[in-house]
Structure 1
Amino acid sequence: MTNRRSERLLNLLIMLLVQRRFVSKARIREILYPGQSEDAFERMFDRDKEELRSLGVPVEVGTLDSYFDDEVGYRIRMDEFALPEISLSADEAAVVGLAGKVWQHATLAEATTEALRKLAAAKVPVDVAALDIVEPHISVDEPAFDAFWQATQERRAVVFSYRRPGSEEPTTRHLQPWGVVRYSGRWYAVGLDTDRGAERVFRLSRIVGAARLVGQPGAYEIPEGTDIRGIATRLAPPPQAEVATVLLRAGTGHGLRRMAVSTVEGVPGPDGLTPWDRVQVLGNAGVLADEVLAQGADACVEAPESLRHEVRDRLTALVAGGAG
């Protein structure tokens, strides 16, 4: 069954995105939070706004009437939310990637349909074309994303096997997830490591097999004022740009080609059947791995070895996740 809070967040995202003017708090309460008391509505609405903002959604506050500033409204400006297709920074990619992941996520398809139905029933004009900006731009999924996203929404603990850098054998870890965030081109789960009693970040691509939700919903609370992105920035390895050499099938890999510092056309390729180009690209390792994996059989990493291992490990994790 679709998680109610996930559905409500989608409702709020859609409602504020498709409106050209600010939407009053009273209107939002009437349509999206019916039957809630004033105090309950304020708590839920504040928490939902902050969760959208933590995902990188620019929820804007403004006055409904330029002559009277006593009533405020909310909206999401398309020109601020729609990020450029070219030269995405790591932070920009995080916004588009996570919004797109939520939008495309199969288990939330029912919530998306229900959100549009509710808004239409309430006679809220919905411009579906405005939703095109949240189509996913990061096409490589992490198998563990589903479990951690669901656990965050339901406040349930997660048990998983995790392979640390330089370690051959994974260890069992226990986490109360506070959120999932994309940083430095990689997905991280942020939360309380109950084995160590401290906040930790775990890179989803290093999770081996399936992550399991344990315990009852509502088992813990996220500490007030928690900054998911700030924790990831502080605890995760800092981004490092590097030069990589990638073979691309001719006519493919446009995202990587936009990052190119040099290109040699017509070189021998791994299949010996079609023309290939040797492209040197400069970028963060996680972003480069995303781009390479998105090309499937049309891309092959020649160097550095660390990027080859990154791509191999991500593919191994995908296979293991599918098997689990």
Structure 2
Amino acid sequence: MSARKSERIMNLTICLLMARRFVEREQIREMVTGYHGLSDAAFERTFERDKDELRALGVPVETGSNSTLFPDELGYRIRRRDFELPEIDFSPAELAALGVASSVWDDARREGDAVTALAKLRAAGLDPDVERVAGFAPSVAAREPAFESLWRATVAARPVTFVYKGVARVVEPWRLLSHHGAWYLIGYDRTRAAGRSFKVSRIDGVPSTASGQVSAPDPAEVARHVASLAAKRDKEAIVAVRDGAAHELVRFAEPVTVDVPAGFSGWRIKTSSDAGEIASYGSDVIVLEPASLVAAVTAHLEAVASWR
């Protein structure tokens, strides 16, 4: 199934699942992204195929009418009780994996589709039930420009090429994971001939697919890289953060009472010895303690200023 068709069928599912009443064809045509711009005949063919596709996948698309006076005016909906799976027992490990999978969509576009569909259903007077699609909204942000390409490459086991800290890399992706509010790619860096971890927000532009295959990694090596991400943040620091800025930095931080400039707040953070990470926030973050990190960040900023 093509990506465009998958998105269209997903939008159709959201539309029919959110509606309490039957949604007529013309309303579906107006509300579902993917049907716009089609001729009458093309819409009829496409909609029928999509409806058949959903039913073949086991999605119970129901046909009916909202009017007893005009029963021929047919519409469609998906009943929640028919759509939901029966109760299933999972082990703790399986539940943890499912929790992560359900909270991460491959990008934020699906959430936007759901919001758009919700607004259109309300405008059409169809009284959408928000609780029915609560699971469609991702709770883990994935807004880095490089994320979607890396996600698809990791799932498909395809090498990728991108620029990281000014160096062109060719990487065989092993794992893509979120740690302290930031996404990291772990993989085999062909350029360095070694396993490496990359902070996704620091990748320049959008990665592209590279040639070759992804070799199966040693699980122990992957585990070492995962552990190293936690180890890199084993040092504490006190910082002043401009109010409303550096959300990623303070997301897991602890507020502290210290003397800070007006418009700033004090935070205790877990950080690494990488001064560049904090320096990247510029004037929005001021390091107060420890003195060694203050000196390192100051030196980093001075070096950047002199280079410019």
TM-score band, normalised by shorter chain: 0.3 to 0.5
Instruction: Report the TM-score, using the length of structure 2 for normalisation.
Output: 0.45
Q: RCO higher in 1 or 2 (8 Å CA, sep ≥ 6)?
A: 1
